[in-house]
Amino acid sequence: MTADDALFRQSMRLLASGVTIVASVHEGRRSGLTATAVCSLALSPPRILASINMQGHTYGIVEQSRCMSINLLAENQQVLADHFASKRAAEDSDRFINGNWITRATGAPILADALAALDCRVTNIIPLDTHAILIGEVDDIVFGPQAAPLIHFQGAYTSILAAHTEKSS
């Protein structure tokens, strides 16, 4: 017997996660989405894991290009996170209007002012129900300005500073 969907969702809202933008490009078409299901996988060679919905536009671009960037957002980049989280069926290259986007080794869009941006070759795609697990080997890393990370907790954005302030009150 598996857990009830609502209970599982409620429990996962208690897992604080860093907020990222997963981005890719194929034949000049850029796409990206906000993701919290991202984690380091291995150190040598450096690999990262991201889970994204297979019905989304970004999945199709990653599947074709076999490249992606994982952009770790700072607390002052919440508007950008919201912009990439919006659901739109059409081309979403206009999502890249805001932010300083560059390219490096793979050609995937990299947010130069993210806390860190990992430029990855996708080595494995593992479909599982509605989502796919993407495993990327990190080719390059770009560091932006130092800042507190943007965190997702209980269905909302927060920061480490907000959690620290609440504790000391």
Q: Give the pLDDT confidence score for residue 2 in this predicted structure.
A: 74
Domain covering 17-168 in this structure, CATH number: 2.30.110.10
In this model, does residue 93 exceed pLDDT 70?
Answer: no
Q: Give the pLDDT confidence score for residue 167 in this predicted structure.
A: 54
pLDDT tens-digit profile of 103-134? Answer: 999 999 999 999 999 999 999 999 999 999 99
Q: Give the pLDDT confidence score for residue 5 in this predicted structure.
A: 84
3-state DSSP assignment of residue 106:
coil
pLDDT tens-digit profile of 51-80? Answer: 999 999 999 999 999 999 999 999 999 999
pLDDT tens-digit profile of 27-55? Answer: 999 999 999 999 999 999 999 999 999 99
